[in-house]
Amino acid sequence: MSLMRQFLYRENVWLGLWGTLVYMLVQILFIKYLFGAGRVDYIGGYDIYQFYLMLAFGQVIITFVFWFVIESSYKATMQIYKGKLDYFFLRPMNIRFLMMHQEISGIQSLMTVAYLVIIFYYLFSRYDFGLTGWDWFLIVILLLVSMFVHLILHWLGVLINFYWPNFWGVWQFMGSISDISRNPKQVYPPFWQTILTYVIPIFLINNPIYYILDHSFSWEFGAQIGLIVVILLMIFMILWKDGLKRYSSAA
């Protein structure tokens, strides 16, 4: 309904269209600037077209997060803080709790999808990435894993509020730091590579696709990814179960 409402106002449509276009162009130009300023053909072993492809994949994940994660996790955090979370369970499920689309970004999200179609078409018409059908299958799996990890990290930030009410830091941190995974892991110091893979698994968001692009992906690394995802899910379930015991209802 909110999206239909936005379409009734031409200013919203045009501002959303041009605002999203500028946002996408700035990111593309920034990558071009990195390669031009350094006068290099490769960064971390990857060329500019591979960076553009990873930017596009990153936007797919970010769009998913805006559609399915940000709005509902934010509302859940507020309900924990206000002591009204139980109302969402005792009465018929409030549609806002499960809202799949952020109200304020309907036009921008649709424009992002449209521009992604254009970007993907341009990349595959100009550059041969040398990927097989199996490689593309693995990329789809890794994108799904990336979305799941991003979702879990956001919701872990929400569950912290069971222990420290109105503690927004973790939730905001998880949303802000994920952008660093857009660059190859190899450009970061080894210490941070380890921390952001096995402690705060930001490098499981989008980044493993780099290993598909240079054909260095191994089943051992895939097993590590699967194990970390299972551990994250277990941590989430433990915090959810224990957090509910600590929850104080306003009722």
Per-residue model confidence as pLDDT tens digits over 221-230: 999 999 999 9
pLDDT at 95 exceeding the cut of 90: no
* Cα dihedral 59, 63, 68, 72 sign: positive
- Partners of 46 in beta bridges: 43
Mean pLDDT value across residues 104-124: 77
Query: What is the Cα–Cα distance from 251 to 248, expressed in whole angstroms?
Result: 9
Q: How far is CA 168 from the centre of its chain?
A: 18
Q: What is the pLDDT of residue 211?
A: 94
C-beta separation of 61 from 205 below 8 A: yes
Q: At which residue do the structure tokens 């999206």 appear? A: 3
Query: What is the Cα–Cα distance from 143 to 184, expressed in whole angstroms?
Result: 16
Rg value, the chain, Cα: 20
pLDDT at 89 exceeding the cut of 70: no
Residue ranges covered by each domain of the chain: 2-246
Query: What is the Cα–Cα distance from 79 to 150, expressed in whole angstroms?
Result: 21
Q: What is the pLDDT of residue 143?
A: 94
Mean pLDDT value across residues 137-153: 93
Mean pLDDT value across residues 188-192: 92
Would the pTM of this model clear 0.75, i.e. be above it? yes
Query: What is the Cα–Cα distance from 67 to 101, expressed in whole angstroms?
Result: 4
Q: How many CA atoms within 13 Å lie on the side-chain side of 134? A: 2
- Report the amino acid identity of residue 89: F
